[in-house]
Structure 1
Amino acid sequence: MNAEPAADWRLFQGDGTQRRVTLPQAPPWRRFGGSRRGAPGPLPYLIAPEHADVVNAALHLRRPLLVTGPAGTGKSSLARAVAHELDLGEVLRWPVNSRANVQDALYRYDAIGRLRETTLSRDRGEAEPSIGSFVRLGPLGTALVPGPRPRVLLVDELDKGDVDLPNDLLTVFEEGVFEIPELARLPEAQSVIQVLVADSQDPVTVERGKVLCTEFPVVVITSNGERDFPPAFLRRCIRLDLPTPDEERLRAIVAAHLGDGALDGVEDLLRSFLQRRGPGELATDQLLNAVFLRAGGVDLDADGLLDAVLHQLGGTV
């Protein structure tokens, strides 16, 4: 992956002059849409056999997989790797934040929108829209929709949520069912309703307001280890702690993402990365960024550019 020196790599000059430039091809891990990867299949995911065995245990037991580890160890990417290898479709992602709650992850009901559309329909002398048009299942609710194959659900950074969020998930994880009260209260003539889902324009059928999975979804929960979870929640999970990659695995990751030739002439970058890295202070993708720029002929030693790429994650901004 050697390249000629990128004499014109500075697309932005900072001189106020407008230019029309052609942006170079993005790194493989920053490509999106139909040509996101630039090659068939997703980016390679490297995992040690003993860690893959833990994933398999969770699959066999139909239990959520709780993945912990420092930033950049591939916690979130693991869900996509499982979905790809098992041909389970696109990953349903629930990014957890301080306002996240199980209700919204299961479904949302737009009561105001329904009232508005119903009033307009009556004024036009038209039939009222179905209530199902105003119910949309969230990522967790969509994962529980009955189907011939389970879906993969990524619950990303659970420790960012409210302290009660793990306990709120227990019933759903244990029973694989939830109720939509707005639909359950409908008369018998409306016991079968089509509702929207999180990742498709095609509606799904809900009977008597209840969604009950036939195959428990493959649930991957990530945590940065910022707080402890309740024992009752941990009992229902299979735990996997992904370690910080050692030098040998770092080389394998670089080769897998950028080709074997990417390792030529980057010993100084590997050495610098390992010297700077401390617990939670650098992520593996920062090394990939540095190697990608070096392969493009960029002088990382100029004007502190390497410090900008391999900046500490734990410091203040």
Structure 2
Amino acid sequence: MRLAFMGSPDFAVPALQALVAAGHEVAAVYCQPPRPAGRGQRETPCPVHRAALELGLPVRTPARVKRDEAEHAAFAALELEAAVVAAYGLILPQPMLDAPRRGCLNIHASLLPRWRGAAPIHAAVLAGDAETGVTIMQMEAGLDTGPMLLAESTPIDPRDTTAAVHDRLAEIGARLILRALDEAPAPVPQPEAGVTYAPKLSKADAVLDWRKDAAALDRRVRAMTPWPGAQFRLGEDTIRLLAAIPAAGEPGAAPGTVLDGTPRVACGNGTALTLLRLQRAGRGAMEAAEFLRGRPLPAGTVLG
């Protein structure tokens, strides 16, 4: 089948590879333009761009497509059977949605209509959802509102991070999009009840509020791993917290107070959180014991 593939991050790479391996003709790969990255701020192509080059596929990186009539015409000229979209990062206008004969199929990393929007995996972990999954959706102009073609669920383990769930969903998405193209299932409208939204994250979402109880903070740490990375203040330093686990608290302890050398930190509602893996700015990630050798946290220290 003659296709275009539209995606940018790591999540989309397994789907692109699966489409090529299954023998589909990928006429063009669309992804975000290269951007400065790393200490040298060198222009760096996104993961899908790199994967497409390795597969010998033509790549297009328009900075915007919404009102670019020339880009709309170029897309239509590909004469596609379908377009597969997976975390592309740009909103497709109606002329591009309508151009492929079978339209545009989106690989969305949630069980719609729960967690429409930009950060569905983070949102599911942060909310403490028992499961999530992938929905293959027929795209329309609304934000993740199109009818559903296929869906597959996976449980969220109590210790899962966003990174772990992300990798499972990427593989599910790759498998499911092949089925959707082969089977052409009938579209099913999304239910009107149960709609939730997962807005785009910022670094502000990663700041820990020790007044929250330990279970909520544990979910935030896992939801923000690997990006943007949960963080707190220690004096003038910003510390990333990469792993933690709820622990027994001490009645009356002020939230943010280090209780012992574990290190265990007091949280809201009389709970506590044991810090397991941390990272100082400009340093590598460390287990708590190694971190404490270079930056002690004596009992009574108050974290911001």
TM-score band w.r.t. shorter chain: under 0.3
- Computing the radius of gyration from Cα coordinates, the structure with the larger value is 1
Higher helix share: 1
Higher strand share: 2
More relative contact order in 1 or in 2 (CA 8 Å, sep 6+)?
1
